[in-house]
Chains A and B, each alone.
With several copies, the nearest count.
Chain A
């Protein structure tokens, strides 16, 4: 029997390292009912802005609300798709251009559930979780990020 899940932390300080992603993947090799993993990674872009180029994004969040919301999304997506596993990590603080700031990871017996659930999670996280990115510009200015 599944025990009741409670909100878990999704935030990591600074970038999400490729090594930690590899570790997360490797941790699933003992789950031998998994046939497919779907992963989304958000990476900080060096966008051109008025007055300069983005060099990093500084993330802040309304943490308690974000964790509650992430938990709510997590439960809804678990209820909708036959998933074996789901992991969500988002950066807080400064993440430099080229570094990973979002890691969404779903696993299921057959590929379709993992792929669809991962996409839905990414959309919902960007839309519903109270996190803000401030793009730091190489002229020492900054611009509040806007999600498309």
Chain B
């Protein structure tokens, strides 16, 4: 279950990790609702030009997505730099 209690259905909950959180200077963003990941990326690159030089993936509700993907209302959107565990 996404943790979305304080949000309206027209907003989108973005969480960021590692180097991405550092570059955008926050671990969480609440944005106006956007219909798909391409629109979201367009917004993020506009707002945080540094991200253009940074490799990252997007997960929707904890599943990695590739390419233009519909964002369900209430989805947890995560910005994930390359994993480096271990």
Contacts and interface: CB of A to CB of B under 8 A. Distances in A.
B80 A62 contact: yes
Interface of B is mostly: loop
B34 interface: no
Nearest to A128: B83
Interface in A21-68: 42, 59-62, 64-65, 68
A127 interface: yes
Interface size bracket, A side: 20 to 34
Interface size bracket, B side: 10 to 19
A134 B18 CA distance: 8
B82 interface: yes
A5 to B, nearest CB: 18
B86 A147 contact: yes
A145 B85 CA distance: 8
A89 to B, nearest CB: 11
B82 A61 contact: no
Contact of A62 (B19, B59, B82, B86): B59
Nearest to A122: B86
A147 B84 contact: yes
Interface of B: 15, 17-19, 59, 62, 78, 80-86
Given A128-B83, A146-B84, 16 more contacts: A62-B62, A102-B86, A122-B86, A125-B86, A126-B85, A126-B86, A129-B83, A130-B59, A131-B86, A132-B19, A133-B85, A133-B86, A134-B18, A144-B84, A147-B83, A147-B84
